[in-house]
Structure 1
């Protein structure tokens, strides 16, 4: 472990220190590793995909409901849309929990 000088107060501090213990100046900013970046962008992409899936699914179901000939077909399409939207939400929540924990565990230290 080497000693370096603080930029602000010129005190000797460890090269591993994030801040100067004397004046509190930030010496180095931790960065996310390659795996951490991949997981972070996977989390963002997953949320965008799920949002698109929800909008496209409900929008497509609305067209089916409007094109239905009888009230029974409309009711069935509405129930199916509700079940499909609920399934998407369940997948979304569980996916966010798993990927969110991975993002949390791969954050810079």
Structure 2
């Protein structure tokens, strides 16, 4: 059999081009995220602390009622309403911040505007 050499098979593999910025071997303590991402994380942390602190303080104040069942029940209902309000505000704030985060995406801001379709009328 003849030894055929196909064009391109015997050429050396292309070497990858060096990237524009050198890769750092140092590990970062915190990831490099957009500032709004940190705002969203801080908002979620504050809301979690608020929910835990509110439920905890409300459960401790029910002990002042003594043996009155009506007072303890009212305290439990107030705690549930307060916790529900905090969860509602948390969800509303998370949705609003999430929409703002998506709208202000840096990749979408750097896109070039779409070309207008040709006038065929």
Q: TM-score, normalised by structure 1?
A: 0.64
More helix by share: 1
Equivalent in 29, 38, 41 of residue 38 of structure 2: 41
Query: Whole-Å Cα distance in 2 between the matches of residues 27 and 104 of structure 1?
Result: 27
Task: Please tell me whether residue 67 in structure 1 is matched to residue 64 in structure 2.
Answer: yes
- Superposed CA offset, 1:35-92 (max 9, x none): x833222111110000000000000011011232211110110000000000001100
Compute the displacement of 1:27 (Å).
Answer: 6.8
Count of residue pairs brought into register by the alignment: 81
**Structure with greater Cα Rg:** 2
Query: Whole-Å Cα distance in 1 between the matches of residues 61 and 36 of structure 2?
Result: 37
Could you say if the C-alpha distance between residues 58 and 44 of structure 1 is closer, same or farther in structure 2, counting changes exceeding 3 Å?
same
Query: Whole-Å Cα distance in 2 between the matches of residues 106 and 62 of structure 1?
Result: 41
Root mean square deviation of aligned Cα: 2.4
Residue 53 of structure 1 is matched in structure 2 by 50
Query: Whole-Å Cα distance in 2 between the matches of residues 94 and 68 of structure 1?
Result: 34
Instruction: State the 4+ residue runs in structure 1 displaced beyond 4 angstroms.
Output: none
Gaps of 5+ in 2: 1-14, 22-32, 108-121
More strand by share: 1
Gaps of 5+ in 1: 1-6, 11-25, 29-35
